[in-house]
């Protein structure tokens, strides 16, 4: 049998009194999910030994925003190593300037001229080294994937890609063909190579511009 002393009874009464005054607090759980989608900045690259195009866009939710675009040109009179270094340095500078989260680059296709294919592959390698040197994850897409994602047609020409890039990003004017291809591969990555995903995300803005989709293509 347990016998309580007066001191024990006094302590017990104080504990009961404290418990009645301070009820246990409920745990508050907060969501770690951000209240809005985190923006992702994408650097697109259209590789070429003479001219390499670059395009930077930002994706936040279903919205695509244009950041910058341009070209990196090598001196045609310089030797090959110097030209490759020019491309490497240019890609590195663009990466530092615009601080993208990832990069997308167009894959090399086999040309009729083996020498041209080899030179293009070397230029592409220099560009990839510049991207990886900055610490970027690099994703690769074929020209067919780019055209299907941006235009909705795998045999689209450069003019059609330029037109669609201009419309999708609501640009005031058309970018050059190299910059447009670079922006196109960035758009392709932003939407996982999905044409319908690209158009669906931009549908409200396109409708306000008086545009619509017909047979997988955007028409005005």
Q: How far is residue 218's CA from residue 139's CA, in Å, rounded to a whole number?
A: 26
- 18 labeled part of a ligand binding site: no
Task: Return the exposure string of 148-187: e unless at least 16 CB atoms fall within 10 Å of the residue's CB, then b.
Answer: bbbbbbeebeeebbbbbbbbbbeeeeebebbbbbbbbbbb
What are the structure tokens assigned to 5, written together? 């002393």
8 A C-beta contact, residue 185 and residue 44 = yes
178 annotated as ligand-binding: yes
Catalytic (active-site) positions: 46, 106, 178
- Consult the annotation and say whether 46 binds a ligand: yes
Interhelix angle 80-98/114-133, rounded to 10 degrees, is: 40
**Binding site members:** 46, 106, 178
**Binding site members for Mg(2+):** 46, 106, 178
């Amino acid at each position: 049998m347990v016998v309580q002393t007066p001191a024990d009874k006094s302590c017990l009464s104080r504990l009961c009194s404290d418990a009645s005054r301070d009820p246990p607090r409920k745990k508050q759980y907060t969501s770690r999910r951000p209240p809005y989608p985190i923006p992702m900045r994408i650097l697109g690259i259209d590789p070429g030994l003479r001219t390499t195009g670059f395009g930077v866009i930002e994706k936040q939710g279903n919205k695509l925003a244009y950041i910058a675009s341009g070209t990196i040109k090598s001196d045609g009179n310089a030797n090959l190593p110097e030209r490759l270094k020019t491309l490497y340095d240019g890609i590195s500078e663009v990466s530092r300037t615009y601080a993208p989260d990832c990069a997308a680059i167009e894959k090399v296709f086999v040309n009729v001229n083996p020498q041209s294919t080899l030179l293009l592959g070397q230029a592409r390698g220099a560009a990839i080294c510049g991207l990886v040197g900055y610490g970027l994850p690099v994703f690769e897409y074929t020209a067919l994937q780019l055209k299907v994602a941006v235009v909705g047609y795998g045999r689209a020409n450069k003019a059609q890609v330029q037109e669609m890039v201009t419309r999708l990003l609501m640009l005031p004017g058309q970018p050059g063909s190299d910059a447009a291809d670079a922006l196109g591969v960035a758009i392709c990555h932003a939407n996982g190579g999905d044409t319908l995903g690209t158009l669906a995300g931009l549908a409200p803005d396109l409708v306000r511009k008086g545009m619509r989709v017909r047979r997988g293509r955007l028409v005005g």
